[in-house]
Structures are given as structure tokens and as C-alpha cells.
């Protein structure tokens, strides 16, 4: 993803604000980057942080100098990233940053930077540690924190940071940008729910592991829509357990699958209200299901509820089995 172009074209206020601060030497010691799920928070945080260290900023990180390449290769000791999207960030991880940054910087630039992605996913003790660190930052220590929900971030953290808010790009624009990069329209529509940038969608499909999880989820999603359309409930349940649940075998594919279902059920509600669906590639089957299924709103609530369990230590197969049974029973009870 070309983050510089994304910022300049899609987030011009953040772009101009940071460029001006960098050029005038008036950088804040802590930034909180806020954005809805799907916005490239971590990518933006890394890029802005990298711009502080870049050998040849133009005006932000060039991505070609030795420093930029070393950071991209995770080979720059004064640049640390904690990723809360993978797991809860614990006190000892924050402590390792504090311990390392209490010492003199390894690199000759003398600047040290840390990123905490999704600060809302920090444990209580970790939050207390980072608060103390933010209160008394070193003169050349810079923090970049990110969040999907400002309401879940302590006011004491927000008050110590300069807030940068990423605005959502229109979803149809994201789809068009992805299609212009030769992403199939079906994939662009589905993935625009997850990623609020066309180039980021392209990058996901270019990553084998991400693409495999997505393809498994997409195949399960298609089969499940077909199963929902079957008149015989028992046959639909058997088909789902035999063909669909085995495809959704990782947490990543389960997240994709559940969010695709959210998209589909939201579109069915839109169709019932006379609105056009976002998933135009699935318009025919969604139109059919919207007239056949009852309790679409209750099913959507169940999907959203089970989506919250994915990050917990639950058995993915059992969770999917429960969800499939719930939706098929609810949806088919009132078939017309």
C-alpha cells in the first residue's frame, strides 16, 4: 500500500498537519490515530513514524533509503511495534519498551519510536504502565497509538496525545479503486467491508496466507447462502455441517466468514426496505433470500454476537456449528 499517496489523496488534513509539524520541527511526542475498523491504522502509524527517521523525506518517508528499508525489515532497534490486533498487550511488553528506551538510542539519529496498535486491547496493568511513560517522555521518544474506538480509550491517554482522525472513504469509491487495480468486482465488494482502501484490498489478495483465509471464507459464504435457500431445513443443516464448517477452520477465516454474513444480512434488510444492496454480485440470491427468510434482523444480531466471541479462547468449529444451526432454524421457520 502506498500510504503516502493514500494520506495525500484521501486524508489531506492529516497529511498537511503532519508535514507541517515535521518541517517546522514541532512534532508531538505522542499521537493517537483513530479510525473505524477497515481503515489502515497500523499502516499509517508506521508510515508517519518512519517519516521522522527517514534519511530523505519527500516530504514524508521515501520508502527507499536505508533507514526506511531497515524499518520495513524489522531491523531497526529504536523502532518497536506492539500489535493489539493479534492478542491483548500485556504489562511486560510495555515494560520492555520502557527498559529499552531508558537507555541511549542504538542508532546515530538518537530518536526512538514505539507504536501500540489498538490501545483498547491493552490489559489494565499495561495501560497504567503506558500512562506513566506518556507522562514523562524522553526528549527524542515518540509514540504512535491507534484505536478503532476513541470511547474505549482512557481520557488520560487521549489528553496526552495529538489526535489524528482517519475519515472513512466512501465504500463505492473503495470498490472502484480496487477494481481499477484489477481486483475482481465480487472480491472488491466483499473486502470493502474489511478494508477502507482499494490498494489495501489488492495487497490482501496478494498475500498468500490472507488470500487463503479469505478464499476459504468466501467459498463457505457462497455455500451457506445456497443452503439458506433450501426448503428442507434438515438438508440445509446437513449440507452446512458437511461442506461449510470444515472450510472455516481458522480464526482469521471465521472473522472473514462472519463479517461476510453481516454484509449479506444487512443487504437483505436494505432490499426489504427498497434500497440497493452493496453486494451487487450477490444481488439475485440476496433478493430471493430476503423474500424467503423470516427473522433476518434476529439472525443479524446473532451473527454480531458470535463475532465478538472470535477473539476469545473458543472453539471455532463449535462456534460456527452453533451459528449455522441458529440461522438456519430462525430463517427457515417462517419461509413463505
The string of pLDDT tens digits covering residues 180-238 is 999 999 999 999 988 889 998 999 898 898 899 899 999 989 888 888 877 777 777 77
Query: Using 50, 70 and 90 to split pLDDT, how confident is the model at 335?
Result: very low
Whether residue 241 is predicted with pLDDT greater than 90 in this model: the reply is no
Task: Give me the helices (H) in 83-240, please.
Answer: 91-101, 124-135, 155-158, 171-180, 185-191, 198-206, 208-228, 233-239
Q: Is the pLDDT higher at 102 or at 166?
A: 166
CA–CA dist 63, 229 (Å, integer) = 50
Residue 330: pLDDT band (50, 70, 90) is low
In this predicted structure, the answer to whether residue 334 has a pLDDT above a threshold of 70 is: no
Cβ-contact 14, 164 below 8 angstroms: yes
What would the pLDDT profile of 32-63 be if each residue is shown by its tens digit? 999 988 889 999 999 999 999 999 988 999 99
Q: Is 148 helix (H, G, I), strand (E, B) or coil?
A: coil
Top-confidence range, 239-243, 279-283, 321-325: 279-283
* 9-26 pLDDT, tens digit each: 889 999 999 999 998 888
Residue 74 has pLDDT above 80, yes or no: yes
Q: Is the model more confident about 111 or about 324?
A: 111
- pLDDT on residue 140: 86
pLDDT, one tens digit per residue, over 138-174 is 778 899 999 988 888 888 888 888 999 999 899 899 9
HSE of 222 in the Cβ direction (CA atoms, 13 Å)?
10
Please report the pLDDT score of residue 311 as a whole number.
64
261-285 pLDDT per residue, tens: 999 999 999 999 999 898 999 999 9
pLDDT at 336: 40
- Percentage helix, strand, coil, to 5, in the chain? 60, 10, 30
Per-residue pLDDT of 288-314, as tens digits, reads: 988 888 788 888 888 888 777 776 666
Mean pLDDT (the chain, rounded)? 86
Cis ω before 59 (30° cut-off from 0) = yes
Amino acid at each position: 500500500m502506498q500510504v503516502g499517496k493514500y494520506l495525500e489523496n484521501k486524508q489531506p488534513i492529516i497529511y498537511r498537519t503532519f508535514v507541517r509539524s515535521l518541517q517546522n520541527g514541532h512534532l508531538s511526542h505522542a499521537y493517537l490515530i483513530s479510525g473505524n475498523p477497515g481503515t489502515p491504522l497500523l499502516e499509517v502509524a508506521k508510515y508517519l513514524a518512519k517519516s521522522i527517521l527517514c534519511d530523505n523525506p519527500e516530504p514524508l518517508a521515501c520508502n527507499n533509503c536505508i533507514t526506511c528499508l531497515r524499518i520495513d525489515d524489522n531491523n531497526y532497534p529504536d523502532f518497536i511495534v506492539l500489535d493489539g490486533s493479534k492478542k491483548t498487550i500485556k504489562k511486560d511488553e510495555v515494560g520492555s519498551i520502557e527498559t529499552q528506551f531508558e537507555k541511549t538510542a542504538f542508532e546515530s539519529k538518537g530518536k526512538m519510536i514505539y507504536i501500540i496498535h489498538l490501545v483498547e486491547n491493552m490489559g489494565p496493568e499495561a495501560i497504567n504502565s503506558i500512562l506513566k511513560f506518556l507522562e514523562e517522555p524522553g526528549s527524542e521518544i515518540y509514540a504512535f497509538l491507534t484505536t478503532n474506538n476513541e470511547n474505549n480509550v482512557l481520557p488520560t491517554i487521549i489528553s496526552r496525545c495529538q489526535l489524528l482522525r482517519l475519515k472513512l472513504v466512501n465504500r463505492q469509491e473503495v470498490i472502484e479503486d480496487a477494481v481499477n487495480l484489477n481486483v475482481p468486482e465480487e472480491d472488491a465488494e466483499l473486502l470493502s467491508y474489511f478494508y477502507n482502501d482499494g490498494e489495501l484490498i489488492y495487497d490482501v489478495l496478494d498475500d498468500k496466507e490472507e488470500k487463503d483465509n479469505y478464499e476459504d471464507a468466501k467459498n463457505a459464504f457462497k455455500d451457506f447462502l445456497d443452503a439458506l435457500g433450501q426448503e428442507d431445513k434438515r438438508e440445509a443443516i446437513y449440507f452446512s455441517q458437511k461442506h461449510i464448517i470444515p472450510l472455516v477452520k481458522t480464526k482469521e477465516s471465521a472473522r472473514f466468514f462472519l463479517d461476510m454474513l453481516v454484509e449479506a444480512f444487512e443487504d437483505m434488510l436494505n432490499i426489504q426496505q427498497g434500497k440497493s444492496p452493496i453486494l451487487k454480485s450477490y444481488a439475485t440470491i440476496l433478493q430471493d433470500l430476503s423474500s424467503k427468510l423470516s427473522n433476518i434482523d434476529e439472525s443479524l444480531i446473532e451473527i454480531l454476537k458470535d463475532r465478538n466471541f472470535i477473539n476469545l479462547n473458543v472453539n471455532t468449529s463449535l462456534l460456527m456449528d452453533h451459528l449455522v444451526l441458529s440461522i438456519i432454524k430462525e430463517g427457515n421457520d417462517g419461509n413463505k
